[in-house]
Amino acid sequence: MARQSTSGPSGPSQRQLRVGELIRRALSDTLARGDLFDPDLDKTSITVSEARITPDLKQATVYVLPLGGGEADLVIEALTRNKHELRRAVNKAVALKYSPELTFKVDHTFDRMDETRALLSDPKVQRDLAAPDED
C-alpha cells in the first residue's frame, strides 16, 4: 500500500494545520481526563505532540510520547486498541464533515532535540561556532 502524503507540494495548508491542532487538543484533553478505561493508559501520562492530517481531512497521524519515554510500544498498542473511543471523542470536540481515521506513532522529536543539543555542546563544534567570520 502506497504511503499517502500528509501535505501538498508546498506543505500542509492552513486548514490542515488548524484541524490537526484541534484534533491534538481534543485527544490531549481526553487522555488527561482519563476518559478511557484501559489499564495500560490509566497508569501513564501521555503527551500528544502533533496531529498531521491528510489534505482530504479523512486520516490523521497522531504523534504521542509517554511521560519519560518508557513503554512507548505498549502505549501505541493501547491507543490503537482504543482508537474508536478516541475517534468518538474527537467527533464530540471537533465539528468535521468526516471523522478522521486515527493512526498513532511514537514521537521521536525529543530524541532528536537531545542529539542536537549534545552535538552543539561538543567542544569542536563550539570552537567552530566561536570562530570569527572571514569575509
What is the pLDDT confidence band of residue 1, given thresholds at 50, 70 and 90? very low
Tell me, yes or no, if the pTM score tops 0.75. no
- Residue 1 is assigned to a structural domain of this protein: no
Express each pLDDT in 14-24 by its tens digit: 999 999 999 99
Question: Rounded distance, CA 60 to CA 51, Å?
Answer: 6
Give a yes or no: residue 5 inside a domain: no
- The CATH number of residue 45's host domain is 3.30.300.20
Tell me the pLDDT band of 73, cut-offs 50, 70 and 90: confident
In this model, does residue 66 exceed pLDDT 90?
no
48, 91 in Cβ contact below 8 A?
A: no
Residue 4 covered by a domain: no
Q: Residue 30's domain spans which residues? A: 14-130
- Sheet containing strand 59-66, edge to edge, reads 46-53, 59-66, 101-106
Q: Count up the domains in the chain and report the number.
A: 1
Average pLDDT, the chain: 82
The residue among 18, 78, 87 whose CA lies nearest residue 52 is 18
| Residue 94 falls inside a structural domain | yes
